[in-house]
Amino acid sequence: MKHALSLTRHRYGYVRKVGGIMRGRNRKQPGQLHNQRKQNSSLIRIAFVSLGCLLFLSGCASDSLFEMQDEHYQPVLERQKAGLPFDESVSKVDIKEYTPEEYEQFGDSHMKQGKIVLAAVQYEASLKLEPSRVSARYKAAQVYLQHGKAEKAYERYHEILDYDFNHALAYEGMGQALLRMNKDAEAELEFQQALVFDSQLWRAHNFLGIIADRQSRHSMAMDHYQHALLIKPNEPHVLNNLGMAHFLNKEYDKAIGIFEQAIHIDPNNSKVWNNIGMTYAKTGQYSSSYDAFQRGLDAPKAYNNLGLLFLEEQQTARAIRCFEHAVNAQTTFYEKAQKNLTLAKKELAKLPPFKRRAVKLQQGSCL
């Protein structure tokens, strides 16, 4: 009873007076003492009831929280619910600590499910336990690159070289990260270094081709794309890039042939269809251009693209007709086409009236 009373006095400030009476801190007359004892007895009962409620509520809280706990904590919580003492050995045995390999496998599983952020967390957990685990470090870098974290990706790729200086894919990865940061010159060096350690990296050749195209070195770009295709034949992305190199070099017929080869391999590639449409327009084959745009996009966007090409060639009246078709073909309001239509009309309005009429007659229809 003394123990229970001292516990109650410790938890509840209003029972402190009871403790004081029991210790004889306040001397009272016998009648007063009898009445006080009755009050104290009531207070003690209230305190125990309160304490019981508190413990009951705590038990309820544990039950509700149990569902939120990791399954590996279940034995510990079951012991607590049964009133058994907490045994540290239970937690040590039953709570699973994963290995670096297992964390990496969890990351791979998250990647397959498209959960990129969770994958990065698992790869980083693997690296924390085993910093020299190159495979997890490379995968973490790939995740950061896909997630738009180019600088973080570059760091992870670069750290691989501390453990494997000849890791060709790390150099290739650094090159990709540098490309994302618009550092083409540094990226080019990294791709070249990657090919020194592994000449069969078709992606490195492809990226070198992209850099060359950016620098208007289209012949060099074509060489890199051809090297990539020797390693990875009929890769549609490389074929598309090769076609664009010929397009930028104003070799339109060659570009169309390569684009058609790419679309034969990947019929649903909207990017390739768009590039075919642009190339047909450059050769004056506007109906074929519209058909290609429509295959890759839809009718409203096809008309809008064609209108932009006519606007670029200063065929303003014809562009207006195409933009009007785009707006009318869209079931909902096509804001982009409407803006282009307004722009084209402003350009046409700048012409003198007699010339404006002549242009309208000459460029009467979109197709």
Q: How far apart are CA 307 and CA 311, in angstroms?
A: 6
Separation of first and last alpha carbons in the chain: 101
Contact 320, 364 (CB under 8 A): no
Contact 206, 241 (CB under 8 A): yes
Burial of 329 (0-12, 13-18, 19+ CB in 10 A): middle
Confidence band of 114 (pLDDT split at 50, 70, 90): very high
What is the pLDDT, as a whole number, of residue 96?
64
What is the pLDDT, as a whole number, of residue 39?
52
Per-residue pLDDT of 305-320, as tens digits, reads 999 999 999 899 999 9
With pLDDT > 70 as the criterion, what percentage of the chain qualifies? 73
Per-residue pLDDT of 116-154, as tens digits, reads 999 999 999 999 999 999 999 999 999 999 999 999 999
Sequence ranges of the domains in the chain:
98-198, 200-282, 298-367
98-198 and 200-282, same CATH topology: yes
CATH of domain 200-282: 1.25.40.10
Looking at domain 98-198, its CATH architecture is Alpha Horseshoe (1.25)
* Of the listed ranges 6-15, 132-141, 356-365, the one predicted with least confidence: 6-15
SS3 175: helix
* Of the listed ranges 75-79, 123-127, 168-172, 357-361, the one predicted with least confidence: 75-79
Confidence band of 348 (pLDDT split at 50, 70, 90): confident
Q: Which of 186, 151, 191 is nearest to 172 (CA)?
A: 191
With pLDDT > 90 as the criterion, what percentage of the chain qualifies? 61
* Of the listed ranges 19-33, 117-131, 163-177, 212-226, the one predicted with least confidence: 19-33
pLDDT over 80 (residue 61): no
| pTM of the model as a whole | 0.68
Per-residue pLDDT of 166-205, as tens digits, reads 999 999 999 999 999 999 999 999 999 999 999 999 999 9
Mean pLDDT of the chain: 80
Residues 6+ apart with CB under 8 A from 243: 255, 256, 258, 259, 262, 272, 275, 279
Q: What share of the chain is helix, strand, coil (3-state, %, to 5)?
A: 75, 0, 25
